[in-house]
Structure 1
Amino acid sequence: MSEGADMDQWTLCYEGYAPDDEPLREALCTVGNGYLATRGAAPEASADAAHYPGTYAAGIYNRLTTTVAGQTVENESLVNLPHWPAMTFRIDDGPWFDVDTAGLLEYRQYLDLRHAILTRRMRFRDTRGRTTAVTQRRFVSMDFEHACVADMAVTAEDWSGRLEFRSTLDGAVRNTLVTRYQDLAGTHLEPVRATRPCDDSVLLEVQTNQSGIRVAMAARTTVWRGRERLSARRRLLEEPGRTGYDLAADIASGQTVRLEKVVTVFTGRDRAISEPAAEAARWLPRLGGYDDLLKGHTTAWDHLWDRFRIEIEGRGDAQRIIRLHVLHLLQTVSPNTAELDVGVPARGLHGEAYRGHVFWDELFVFPLLNLRVPDLTRALLRYRYRRLPEARQAARAAGHEGAMFPWQSGSDGREESQRLHLNPRSGRWLSDPSWRQHHIGIAVAYNVWHYYQATADREFLTHYGAQMLVEIARFWASVASYDRDRGRYVIRGVMGPDEFHTGYPGAEDSGIDNNAYTNVMAVWVILRALDALASLPEQPRRHLTETVGLLPEELSRWRDISRTMYVPFHDDGVISQFDGYDTLRELDWDHYRARYGNIRRLDRILEAEGDDVNRYKASKQADVLMLFYLLSADELAPLFHHLGYSFDAGIIPRNIDYYLARTSHGSSLSAVVHAWVLARAHRERAVEFFLRALEADIADIQGGTTAEGIHLAALAGSVDLLQRCFSGLETRGNQLLLNPYWPESLGTLELSVRYREHPLVLRISGHQVQVAAGHGMHRPMRISCRSETAVLHPGSTLEFPSGDSRIDRPSPRDTATPPQPP
């Protein structure tokens, strides 16, 4: 955050105008509602080095092809839609206002985190010595997802004259935000029509040039002095792909004149509409003005914050960032998203990095939704279910069974991973084997099971979830092959979450064998699929097994694999990241840090030097540690024992220390995962990583990537560190479990959750845990805190000891045993 940032816990504030900071500010000042979002670009700006107007609607993709490095590549992208906030002004036929050329006297921009309203205040003096104050506001309605609102108030401090506004809908936009994509095709929209539904309104309709999705925006622009609507002189502006009005009014010294703009947005993927242009034109006159729409918008946000209340007493700066992270989560996925056929885009609806694709980020997002708006999780999981046929086809095409979900997903569920990527450090286009990250299926299965654990939604499990679990388990059973020498099943040719290792030296794109994370979690998926089948009533279970052709001998093979999957270890008992990891070279970390400073993207540095990160014991994000992130020791111990391996207390800290020394933290998720796994044994180090995770986007610690779109999983994951990690909250075995190791340096945590429709308030400090239940007709529920279990009745409160007396005593997580090779 820039110097002088407001310390108000509900405001993100920037003082002074800094063109070099604008790309970051634009991403962090995005306003949205889960249906669409608009970057915080200045309304008068066009795309250039400092500014990038961008509006993105969930699920609006388009596919283009480009010839690069002698190859034809195809990329599907989330489309930059017409710039609806476009507004500027001028005085007495002078130049149109431009923040980059104005003689600024004051400049302040702030985002209201409570209600997602972006405000910009300026004072400037022009070349004729006239002083003008300007206030601009905008929001995207959380109440009515198709409405966007902006206004601009201009005050003539020491002059009188003619004030002319320009307000347009600008459809002449392209996808050009990400510099390393500049050589790839980026023109996705073609104009359809521009009309004038009534005297104060215009309508612009465009269409994506491959996917054929129509997008319509209608804008009503009016001019006001106080509560008086002015009869401004109005001139229609029509250019290719752009339409709007120039409006002129007289203004006297000391007066304020305000331009108000209300916009409706509809797309061809909306439900219950005739067609986008008709709906945009039909709804616009039904909407009130700025103040009317603001009431519904703020009420909707107040209701959301009631559910997402997470308070850290005494940590004001951290509190504000936590709220910023929750805000951006809800601007990407909200109740407005539930009716859409969309997933969780890795970079939110905030930019064009990763082309708006859906990765595994829902793994870090759903824990926040499961305990607050589980219906939204359910809707987002349906995105995966609808693409199950495509995942089955992908598995068959690869010679496997079951469902192979894509590492990058877009509109229809095919693999969208790039086959070439640009290393901006060397300027070379390189092959990209990211499609080998089949562990995405593990994330889908994990999310299905944990949604069920949090909600007991048997209807979802019966009709959707169990089928996904079965087909993903079937895929892993199909991929696994029996190694007679080891007497165990193995999995070859994959990539783990650590994206640095794409293969072995000399075969860099062929994947690696027996990635420990993949092998262990594949077994976990198989066991959960068996659990899901066992939990179904006889008739639905029989229907499912008949539908997918699941035979008893296949289930028998699953059970055999679940007992004899191979897990690689080093000689000292440390879990090996994959077969052969221990034979790789050690990297001279001090040398590279001294030479380059920031070595997060060590893979790019080494490639530019003519070297290859595949040769070294170096991780972008250590995927062995992901095992300890996803599964508590209480879960891992029986899982390893089921596989025939021992597991004792030394293995977790030993693995953490080993891989922490060999990690570049090139992933925005690395700080989240390391904070989590350090929380039990090294609490204050965990707090350091937690604070680092909070800074990931607001400080843009990856050096320019946040400007291309926020890192949604890292934002959600940082909040989940409070919710589940430091509190030790788990939803497992039809019970709410708490195993808190709350760092006293973080003060006191209070948060609201809903567990299986039970509204709860948790208050956790270093000394005590309180769990208060809301009033209602709910059945009593069992709460366990470490070794104590009690029954919580509606309207009552339970208290458990939390803290310091237990710090040095082994917890259930710490008393598990280290894996040893059999």
Structure 2
Amino acid sequence: MDPWLLTYDGVDPALEGLREALTTLGNGYVATRGAACEASADGVRYPGTYLAGCYDRLTSQVAGRAVDNEDLVNAPNWLPLTFRADGGDWFAPGSAEILACHRRLDLRRGVLTWLLRVRDGAGRTTGVQQHRLVSMDDPHLAALAVTITPEDWTGLLEVRSALDSRLVNAGVARYRGLAGRHLIPVIAHACGDVIELLVRTAASRVEIALAARTIVAGGQRRTHAEQGWVADDQAVRVRAGDGIRVEKVVAVYTSRDRAIASAAEAARTAAVRAEGFDALLERHTRAWERLWSRARVTSEDAGVQQILNLYAFHLLQTLSPHVAELDAGVPARGLHGEAYRGHVFWDELFVFPYLAPRFPEITEALLRYRWRRLPEARWAARAAGHSGAMFPWQSGSDGREETPTLHFNPRSGRWLTDNSHLQRHVGLAVAVNAWRHYQVTGDSDFLAGFGGELLLEVARFFASLAVREGDRYAIRGVMGPDEYHDGYVGRAEPGVDNNAYTNVMTAWLMRRVLEAVDLAGADRVRVSARELERFADMASRMRVDFHDGVISQFEGYGNLAELDWDGYRRTYGDIRRLDRILEAEGDTPNRYKASKQADVLMLFHLLGEDGLAKILTRLGYGWDAGAAARTVDYYLARTCHGSTLSAVVHAGVLARVRPGASEPFLVEALNSDVRDVQGGTTAEGIHLGAMAGVLSLFTEPACR
């Protein structure tokens, strides 16, 4: 096994989506799924190209309601390149017999290679070798180099190179009934030897321009244009055994880019001026060499090393140094698909431990994404009757709450109320990341500037969210990381009270803010003495509930019923989506001691056993190693791991607390995407937080 190569042989319709996601090529600005150049969306294959931060909003009718959804836009497809022999059919899946198919992703260089042998309806056999890159050197360029070899025929070879915007966002089955046509055609034409396509997103009105220059030695050129599509056909006489090389260089710009007169002009100019494939490849390879010198994580096991290389590769393709020039967050599913609509959740909490020590310029840019949306977060807090900044659970273009109000259960066929916007702990993740960035850089100016502002505004929000009850501060009506518990049976108002993760991390935050003010200098931070007094009081008086000698996930957790875990596993096998199973039965996980993913154990993950012990002791609670071990074992037995993040957290926590029990979770974390352990989800986009979390497991512990 070569740890730098990911290879696939043959065509398996059931695995094609997974393979496309895992062979995605990107550079932080743009990424393109590893679909075949000649493919279109057909239920098996799904070409997709995504631009960081490029969203659009459409309205759909759902369960009798008008619902707005903002999506990461599936941008025009730059890949189309196909051929035909002597006026036969254009090669496409289903139009010819595929005799051989081999794909190879070179992780070291960021090059995807396809090797094909096909036989058309007239019995002619043709070999195709294709190399593909999305430039890590120039984020606006992508290229193909294709050699087409007639093996047993002589005649006229026609090559078609196209740009296509006649597509919709349809990469996730459960969204397909919703509005997804985001691209409005503007221009499709040819200018000299360059074809150009300009579209505009329907609501956000972002212009996306593509220009392609295709070279076929000795080819006779014709161009065709339709609304939203333009093609360059070139014909050349060929002889059996002689390969014909085709090069396609594509430039992509949007109206969001800097230092351009217009997106269309910038794309045209870049396509005309771009060097050939080999020169682009050389620059691209050198750029990857520089990244790998900073990014590599090693293992003595070749199989593990391949997975580590693959996960670092996809993390860097989504969050490369080019992101430092963009206004983009951490899309939970990368730039690899349309799951979660490309939204930004809390996944940077798992990304920063790996990225911050290696690429602090990237983590600073990701924090600026949050900082630029402080006005929206402040408005959201005020609208909810609070102070400070209330960050949304799902964020997109402008930082408003993008969490859907409804979600679909495919088991029951019902649309259900979605309360996950109550995961206020996303603000705590922003604060943890700001503090982690400071720990890595030691930059006191960062604390005195926008980093400290983030910390302070999140602290102000939680200070206003908490209510003094007796000698403790309580936080009511929220959701923790678990996500299966969104309320109490019989209570109309959603949310749970005194989620331990939220309350303990709030105590942690208050101490960090006080420390940040000292480090930055009180004269450089706009905070009142009264606020500082409130922060200090909360740091020592947050409420944490206990039952049976363990931390309660939330108030009242100990009163919930025990689930018949063995019975549900016997009946359903895979119970990762226990919430859907119970709802289809007319039940709810709110009745049971059953968690989707690590919740209380997230405290061990972020703080370590010693760090958690210090906070609980400062809060006045008795705590020792026995209580820690009991708490870990208790929740280990009551978690169904319905999120890829759960295996990462459990692997890390158990490695420290129960080393012998960590291996199954480590194996699952390693295989989360490369083996698609959740059964079909990776095809809709990789799990970026889980990939980064795996890398962190093999490096130093998280910053405390």
TM-score of the aligned structures, taking structure 2 as reference length: 0.99
1:667 equivalent to 2:661? Answer no
Equivalent-residue separation in structure 2 for 1:281 and 1:343 (angstroms): 28
Equivalent-residue separation in structure 2 for 1:100 and 1:644 (angstroms): 69
1:552 equivalent to 2:546? Answer no
Equivalent-residue separation in structure 2 for 1:444 and 1:83 (angstroms): 34
**Contact residue 433 and residue 509 of structure 1 kept, 8 A:** no
What does residue range 636-785 of structure 1 map to in structure 2 within 5 Å?
636-724=612-700, 729=701, 731=703
- 1:204 matched to which residue of 2? 197
User: Which amino acid is the alignment partner of residue 676 of structure 2?
Assistant: D
Match of 2:341 among 355, 372, 375: 355
1:650 Cα deviation (Å)?
1.2
1:412 equivalent to 2:398? Answer yes
1:491 Cα deviation (Å)?
0.5
Specify which structure has the higher proportion of helix.
2
1:239 equivalent to 2:239? Answer no
Any idea what the Cα deviations from partners look like across 1:182-225, whole Å, max 9, x if unmatched? Answer: 12110001011123232x111100000100100100000111xx
Match of 1:133 among 117, 127, 136: 127
1:169 Cα deviation (Å)?
0.3
- 2:413 matched to which residue of 1? 427
1:11 equivalent to 2:5? Answer yes
- 2:136 matched to which residue of 1? 142
User: Which amino acid is the alignment partner of residue 617 of structure 1?
Assistant: K
- 2:610 matched to which residue of 1? 634
1:35 equivalent to 2:29? Answer yes
1:333 Cα deviation (Å)?
0.5
Equivalent-residue separation in structure 1 for 2:565 and 2:522 (angstroms): 57
- 2:67 matched to which residue of 1? 73
What does residue range 487-526 of structure 1 map to in structure 2 within 5 Å?
487-507=471-491, 510-526=494-510
TM-score of the aligned structures, taking structure 1 as reference length: 0.85
Instruction: Mark the CA change 1:657 to 1:101 in structure 2 (over 3 Å): closer, same or farther.
Output: farther
- 2:427 matched to which residue of 1? 441
Equivalent-residue separation in structure 2 for 1:567 and 1:668 (angstroms): 27
Equivalent-residue separation in structure 1 for 2:285 and 2:663 (angstroms): 33
**Contact residue 158 and residue 253 of structure 1 kept, 8 A:** yes
Match of 2:276 among 264, 289, 292: 289
What does residue range 60-459 of structure 1 map to in structure 2 within 5 Å?
60-198=54-192, 200-223=193-216, 229-230=217-218, 232-313=219-300, 315-459=301-445
User: Which amino acid is the alignment partner of residue 236 of structure 1?
Assistant: T
Match of 2:504, SS? helix
Match of 2:298, SS? strand
**Contact residue 606 and residue 702 of structure 2 kept, 8 A:** no
Equivalent-residue separation in structure 2 for 1:108 and 1:701 (angstroms): 24
Match of 2:15, SS? helix
User: Which amino acid is the alignment partner of residue 132 of structure 1?
Assistant: T
User: Which amino acid is the alignment partner of residue 274 of structure 1?
Assistant: A
1:13 Cα deviation (Å)?
0.4
- 1:794 matched to which residue of 2? none
1:624 Cα deviation (Å)?
0.2
- 1:583 matched to which residue of 2? 559
**Contact residue 36 and residue 57 of structure 1 kept, 8 A:** yes
User: Which amino acid is the alignment partner of residue 309 of structure 2?
Assistant: R
Instruction: Mark the CA change 1:91 to 1:363 in structure 2 (over 3 Å): closer, same or farther.
Output: same
Match of 1:260, SS? strand
Equivalent-residue separation in structure 2 for 1:468 and 1:668 (angstroms): 28
- 1:568 matched to which residue of 2? 545
Match of 1:76, SS? strand
Any idea what the Cα deviations from partners look like across 1:625-663, whole Å, max 9, x if unmatched? Answer: 000000022322221111011221112221111111111
1:509 Cα deviation (Å)?
6.0
1:684 Cα deviation (Å)?
3.5
**Contact residue 357 and residue 409 of structure 1 kept, 8 A:** yes
The percent identity for this pair of structures is 57
**Contact residue 89 and residue 95 of structure 2 kept, 8 A:** no
Instruction: Mark the CA change 1:328 to 1:47 in structure 2 (over 3 Å): closer, same or farther.
Output: same
User: Which amino acid is the alignment partner of residue 491 of structure 2?
Assistant: A
1:538 Cα deviation (Å)?
4.5
User: Which amino acid is the alignment partner of residue 507 of structure 2?
Assistant: V
**Contact residue 502 and residue 509 of structure 1 kept, 8 A:** no
User: Which amino acid is the alignment partner of residue 492 of structure 1?
Assistant: R
Equivalent-residue separation in structure 1 for 2:10 and 2:491 (angstroms): 52
Instruction: Mark the CA change 1:509 to 1:670 in structure 2 (over 3 Å): closer, same or farther.
Output: farther
1:530 equivalent to 2:483? Answer no
Residue ranges of structure 1 left out of the alignment (5+ in a row): 1-6, 224-228, 733-822
Any idea what the Cα deviations from partners look like across 1:651-710, whole Å, max 9, x if unmatched? Answer: 222111111111110011010000011012322422321121010011111111101000
Match of 1:307, SS? helix
Equivalent-residue separation in structure 2 for 1:371 and 1:414 (angstroms): 30
Equivalent-residue separation in structure 2 for 1:615 and 1:720 (angstroms): 35
User: Which amino acid is the alignment partner of residue 380 of structure 2?
Assistant: A
Any idea what the Cα deviations from partners look like across 1:703-755, whole Å, max 9, x if unmatched? Answer: 1110100000000001100112xxxx4545xxxxxxxxxxxxxxxxxxxxxxx
Equivalent-residue separation in structure 2 for 1:37 and 1:257 (angstroms): 28
User: Which amino acid is the alignment partner of residue 166 of structure 1?
Assistant: R
User: Which amino acid is the alignment partner of residue 557 of structure 2?
Assistant: Y
Instruction: Mark the CA change 1:100 to 1:109 in structure 2 (over 3 Å): closer, same or farther.
Output: farther
Match of 1:338, SS? helix
Match of 1:665, SS? coil
Equivalent-residue separation in structure 1 for 2:503 and 2:690 (angstroms): 25
Any idea what the Cα deviations from partners look like across 1:204-255, whole Å, max 9, x if unmatched? Answer: 00000100100100000111xxxxx32x121111111000111111110110
Equivalent-residue separation in structure 2 for 1:125 and 1:522 (angstroms): 64
User: Which amino acid is the alignment partner of residue 592 of structure 1?
Assistant: Y
**Contact residue 502 and residue 508 of structure 1 kept, 8 A:** no
User: Which amino acid is the alignment partner of residue 332 of structure 2?
Assistant: A
Structure 1's consecutive aligned runs of 4 or more residues displaced over 6 angstroms after TM superposition are none
- More deviation, 214-223/121-130: 121-130
Equivalent-residue separation in structure 2 for 1:456 and 1:136 (angstroms): 47
1:361 Cα deviation (Å)?
0.3
- 1:768 matched to which residue of 2? none
Instruction: Mark the CA change 1:599 to 1:538 in structure 2 (over 3 Å): closer, same or farther.
Output: closer
Equivalent-residue separation in structure 2 for 1:622 and 1:114 (angstroms): 34
- More deviation, 177-186/94-103: 94-103
Match of 1:679, SS? helix
**Contact residue 108 and residue 289 of structure 2 kept, 8 A:** yes
Any idea what the Cα deviations from partners look like across 1:52-80, whole Å, max 9, x if unmatched? Answer: 11000000000111111011111111000
1:101 Cα deviation (Å)?
4.0
Aligned length: 704
User: Which amino acid is the alignment partner of residue 25 of structure 1?
Assistant: R
User: Which amino acid is the alignment partner of residue 25 of structure 2?
Assistant: V
Match of 1:483 among 466, 469, 473: 469
**Contact residue 131 and residue 146 of structure 2 kept, 8 A:** yes
1:557 Cα deviation (Å)?
1.8
Equivalent-residue separation in structure 2 for 1:683 and 1:12 (angstroms): 31
Match of 1:620, SS? coil
1:124 Cα deviation (Å)?
2.2
Equivalent-residue separation in structure 1 for 2:491 and 2:27 (angstroms): 45
1:95 Cα deviation (Å)?
1.0
User: Which amino acid is the alignment partner of residue 653 of structure 1?
Assistant: A
User: Which amino acid is the alignment partner of residue 179 of structure 2?
Assistant: A
Equivalent-residue separation in structure 1 for 2:575 and 2:343 (angstroms): 26
**Contact residue 523 and residue 562 of structure 1 kept, 8 A:** yes
Instruction: Mark the CA change 1:219 to 1:694 in structure 2 (over 3 Å): closer, same or farther.
Output: same
**Contact residue 28 and residue 322 of structure 2 kept, 8 A:** yes
- 1:608 matched to which residue of 2? 584
